[in-house]
Structure 1
């Protein structure tokens, strides 16, 4: 099933849910990314899909690169006093 937009991708049913709180700035950046994907790249997806893909990329990077992954570097940086 697609939303009928050019470049739309099939929707997938998900059976698990989490709640994530983000700042207003982060939500705005996510919406800007979604709109840029549609306007500049012809990819029509919802914010949830963008988040799932971003999580998948970060988890793959963690698995492939461990301590040198972007996730570890960012979390270490953010946890420094």
Structure 2
């Protein structure tokens, strides 16, 4: 006979008192503002998407050393810079920086130089 767990109704209650209805902001309560990376020849600039819902997914395979380096960077950002970010956000920021550099410097970009080494 299957057993079902009964969950109290208040388990998903809000943890903070909501603001009065008249004071509800039009924008989400958590907003991350990042300055766009301006690039010559590109009017839109590049920036990391930050903390938003992402609809696309990409799988990247890394070595265990690369994963440890990424985790050490995450802890460094938290410990010494007060930035509590996840690994995905670090990767998205790095991608935005690499693509902005490629837009700005083309063949002289760090991305081209790094990929030419491999």
- Confirm or deny a common fold (TM above 0.5): yes
TM-score, normalized by length of structure 1?
A: 0.83
More strand by share: 2
The residue number in structure 1 matching 2:68 is: 28
TM-score, normalized by length of structure 2?
A: 0.57
5+ residue gaps in structure 2?
Answer: 1-28, 31-49
Aligned-pair CA distance for 1:11: 2.6
**Alpha-carbon distance in structure 2 between the residues aligned to 1:19 and 1:11:** 19
5+ residue gaps in structure 1?
Answer: 3-9
Residue by residue over 1:56-78, the C-alpha shift from the partner in whole angstroms, topping out at 9 and shown as x without a partner, is 00000000000000000011111
Larger Rg, first or second structure (1 or 2): 2
Say if 2:90 is the partner of 1:50.
yes
Runs of 4+ in 1 over 3 A off after TM superposition: none
